Amino acid sequence: MIGIRGVLFVKRFVYGVAVDFPCGVLSDCEGPFDGLPFRGTRYHPWLTSSSDRRMNSASTPELTPSVHHFALRGLRRFRRWVAFLVIFFGAVGILLGWMQAAERASQDRNWQAVMDPRAADPGLTPADDVPTDHARRVTVGLYLERITEVAIRDSRFRALVDVWFAWQGEPYDPTGHLVVVDGTIASIKTLEESDEGDRHYRLYQIEVEIAKTFHIHNFPLDRHLLVLAFEDGSRHREKLLFEPDVVNSDISSRAAVHGYRLGTLTAVEKPHSYKTTQGRPGLAPGTRSTFSQARFGLVIARDSWGPFVKMFHALFVAVAIALLPCFIRPTDLDPRFGLGVGALFAAVANSYLIGALVPDTGEFSLADLVNLLGIVTILITLVESTVSLHLFDHCGQRDLSLSLDRTSFVVVSVGFIAAVALILLGASGMLWP
């Protein structure tokens, strides 16, 4: 019902604008918007002044059949122009907003799979189910002290963590063959060692650097799952099973990432199979090695709209400047076209600056989409100025040129704002959940 009412509203709006605008003196020009009805036309109050309406009413000749034909054609073309603007901004806003919402929902599903002990990691081969009845069980916990760096463009982050191991049975060195999955250990320091009979405990402070592919579809309203995963590279899952210390694993209040808020820490154990024998003697080709992986995940999300405003305030000003020529006489070529061209260069420069903040990939981020929409909007204003100049100077239809300017200003302004709002609502998860 809402969709039908929306379509009817747009239809009435387009028809009303096209019928209620004033027309000018007829000419032999057959341009894209020439020849609209004159006498008896209803004048829109915000498109013309009362003096213009009196002048046109007194000086406009009666229509002939041939002139009426051109008038109807101009009327249809005016409707099409307004309809094009309404449909363009509406379709772009809905489509891009839906794409942003779909990407956000897909990201949530992938994160759930990554931190689900029973689910395969997205895009990866499921791990082999190996028996762990005779495996040594080692409790692993993590306390996040600091996140020292999150470099989205360089696809990495660094963190300082306290990691402890507790087990029963024979002693062994937990860090002797410790592997940080997708990362490296920058430094490691022993903080505490304890051996009480067959109970053993080790506490280490480890600085790690993790390589991570940051998905930038929703940037700068982005969220990221930071994962710290540990394995024992010398003992298969049949021999050693990590058990996460869910109760004691936590995040320090000193841990922070500028521009992001930190979620809660999640700890799970997942099997991890390698599709190679790694050259081990006695193993047939194709044999997979499965290890126990202690995995700790943390979601960071933007804490405000500040980064978005900082990135795009220049673009929004450029679009506003590009709309100002709608109030300038079309024959004043320098300001009429100079403002739009200058705004176009400003939008392109803003796109380059934002591109330096994200990895150089083929993905289109939210920032890229908003920039592209701004550039296309500025281009539309330049096209409108060209058509308006043609009507004003070549066809002599000055009132029609004025009507085109005022109508385009309103439709483009509202359309651009509405399209950007739909994109942002989709990226923030407020629409199409």
Question: For residue range 114-156, what is the model confidence (pLDDT) as tens digits?
Answer: 999 999 999 888 888 888 999 999 999 999 999 999 999 999 9
Count other Cβ atoms within 10 Å, centred on residue 353: 12
Tokens 């079309």 identify what position? 330
CA–CA dist 210, 301 (Å, integer): 18
What mean pLDDT is predicted for residues 414-427? Answer: 95
Report whether pLDDT(205) > 60: yes
Mean pLDDT of 217-228: 94
CB–CB of 382/341 below 8 Å?
yes
Q: What is the pLDDT of residues 295-310, one digit of tens each?
A: 999 999 998 888 899 9
> In this predicted structure, which of 80-89, 239-248, 274-283 has the lowest mean pLDDT?
274-283
Question: Is the pLDDT score of 26 beyond 50?
Answer: no
Q: Are 145 and 254 in contact (CB under 8 A)?
A: yes
pLDDT of 90 reads: 96
CATH architecture of 121-302: Distorted Sandwich (2.70)
**Chain-centre distance for alpha carbon 227:** 22
Scan for tokens 């592997």, then name that residue: 179
294: nearest Cα among 206, 395, 417? 206
Q: In terms of pLDDT, which residue wins out, 65 or 131?
A: 131
Question: Token pair of 24, please?
Answer: 């000018």
Whose structure tokens read 């895009």? 123
Counting DSSP H helices and E strands in the chain, the numbers are 7, 10
> Among residues of the chain, what percentage have pLDDT more than 90?
62
Q: Who contacts 426 (Cβ-Cβ below 8 Å, separation ≥6)?
A: 96, 97, 98, 99, 100, 101, 104, 432
Q: Residue 362: what pLDDT?
A: 79
Whether residue 418 has pLDDT greater than 80: yes
What confidence category does residue 75 fall into, taking pLDDT thresholds of 50, 70 and 90?
Answer: low
Query: How many Å apart are CA 75 and CA 45, to the nearest integer?
Result: 19
Query: Which H helix or E strand runs over 140?
Result: strand 136-151
User: What is the model's pLDDT at position 14?
Assistant: 41
Instruction: Please give the Cα distance from 104 to 10 (Å, whole number).
Output: 30
**Residues contacting 397, CB < 8 A, separation 6+:** 23, 24, 25, 27, 29, 33, 34, 36, 391
The conformational region for residue 68 under phi > 0 = left, psi -120 to 50 = alpha, else beta, is alpha
Tokens of 60: 């406009």
- Alpha-carbon span 265 to 297, nearest angstrom: 6
CA distance 409 to 89: 13
How far apart are the C-alpha atoms of 343 and 350, rounded to whole Å?
11
* 3-class state of residue 350 by DSSP: helix
Q: Is 211's pLDDT higher than 60?
A: yes
Percentage of the chain exceeding pLDDT 70: 82
Residue 233 clears pLDDT 50, i.e. is over it: yes
Q: What is the DSSP letter of 21?
A: S
Contacts with 308 (C-beta within 8 Å, 6 or more apart), sequence order: 220, 221, 424
Give the separation between CA 375 and CA 259, rounded to whole angstroms.
27
Give tens-digit pLDDT for 313-363.
Answer: 999 999 999 999 999 999 999 999 999 999 999 999 999 998 888 888 878
pLDDT at position 249: 97
pLDDT at 74 over 70: no
Question: Domain 2-103+306-427 maps to which CATH number in 3.90.1150.10, 3.30.160.270, 1.20.58.390, 1.10.10.10?
Answer: 1.20.58.390
Closest CA to 105 of 414, 358, 425, 427: 427
Place of tokens 């979620």: 263
pLDDT band at 256; cut points 50, 70, 90? very high
In sequence order, what are the beta bridge partners of 199? 168, 196
Q: How confident is the model at residue 25 (pLDDT cuts 50, 70, 90)?
A: very low
Cis peptide before 220 (omega within 30 of 0): yes
pLDDT tens, residue by residue, 154-197: 999 999 999 999 999 998 899 999 999 999 999 999 999 999 99
The residue ranking higher by pLDDT, 384 or 283, is 384
Q: Between 397 and 414, whose confidence is greater? A: 414
> Could you tell me if 121 and 181 are in contact, meaning their C-beta atoms sit under 8 angstroms apart?
no
What pLDDT was estimated at residue 11?
44
| Every domain of the chain and the residues it spans | 2-103+306-427, 121-302
On the question of pLDDT at 27 being above 60, the answer is no
Rg for the chain (alpha carbons), in Å? 32
